[in-house]
Amino acid sequence: MTDAPVLQLTGVTQQYGEGATSVSALSGVDLTVQRGELVAIMGASGSGKSTLLSIAGGLQKPTTGEVIVEGTYLSTASARQLAQLRRRSLGFVFQDFNLIPTLTALENVTLPLELDGFRARVARRAGRDALASVGLEDKLAAYPDDLSGGQQQRVAIARAVVGGRRLILADEPTGALDSVTGEAVMKMIRSRVDQGAAGILVTHEARHAAWADRIVFLRDGRIVDQSRRDGAETLLAGTP
């Protein structure tokens, strides 16, 4: 791993509303993720897990604090710079897949590259390679409705990693999948991180968090505990 982190959150807070009705989703969160590191975020519903992921990916701005992705300060980045960063550096994997139903598997994967100005032939080659890496080289022309849930999630992962994205953000990516397919999805995410990406995995499943190098626990918007892989079993043993 390099010394410079891929992702750094410093003093991040997120507050909704004002006065007596205000709600604090995150409170003073500090988090650093290095290249080649997968960090699992765990916590009860409403603890701030998805908010943290959204802020890390520049989908929303924190109330206070700073987010830095590959040296880019998101607070001062323009809308164009943020869009470019998401296309080139960030890969999102969501529980509900977010595939475009009118596009084939290959078109769904290559769309971010084409929007970023890649020539169609180059984008298609990269898309085919990404789909092959998740075992879907025979489903290039299939539409999402013709694919199983597990296959759709693999297409979403191929889209998240195509073009060599360096930060993978996964929000409950196995929540809608059976246990066998869920384990396969975790292997794919782990493999991409082992190849040099940084990753954040939001999950409520201890067996999936066990794939991570570090587990961070959130409670009421604050990091209350964390452990690296060699100490994770002790933390997970007490997870409800």
- When pLDDT is cut at 50, 70 and 90, the band that residue 229 belongs to is low
pLDDT tens by residue, 1-18? 447 899 999 999 999 988
Of 221, 163, 159, nearest in space to 9 by CA: 221
pLDDT at 230: 60
For the whole model, what pTM was predicted? 0.86
CA torsion, ordered 119, 124, 126, 127, to nearest 10 deg: 140
pLDDT tens by residue, 195-224? 999 999 999 889 899 999 999 999 999 999
Whole-angstrom CA distances from 188 to 77, 156, 173, 174, 211 are: 31, 11, 11, 12, 11
Q: What is the mean pLDDT of the chain?
A: 89
pLDDT at 63: 95
Where are the domains positioned within the chain? 7-89+166-237
Question: What secondary structure does DSSP assign to 87-138, as a single string?
Answer: HHTEEEEETT----TTS-HHHHHHHHHHHTT--HHHHHHHHHHHHHHTT-TT
pLDDT tens by residue, 149-208? 889 988 998 999 888 889 999 999 888 788 888 888 888 889 889 999 999 999 988 989
The kind and range of the H/E element at 68 are strand 64-69
Of 27, 181, 6, 191, nearest in space to 89 by CA: 6
SS3 of residue 77 by DSSP: coil
In the CATH scheme, what is the homologous superfamily, with its name and number, of domain 7-89+166-237?
Answer: P-loop containing nucleotide triphosphate hydrolases (3.40.50.300)
Contact 57, 198 (CB under 8 A): no
- When pLDDT is cut at 50, 70 and 90, the band that residue 67 belongs to is very high
Contact 16, 48 (CB under 8 A): no
CA torsion, ordered 98, 101, 107, 108, to nearest 10 deg: 0
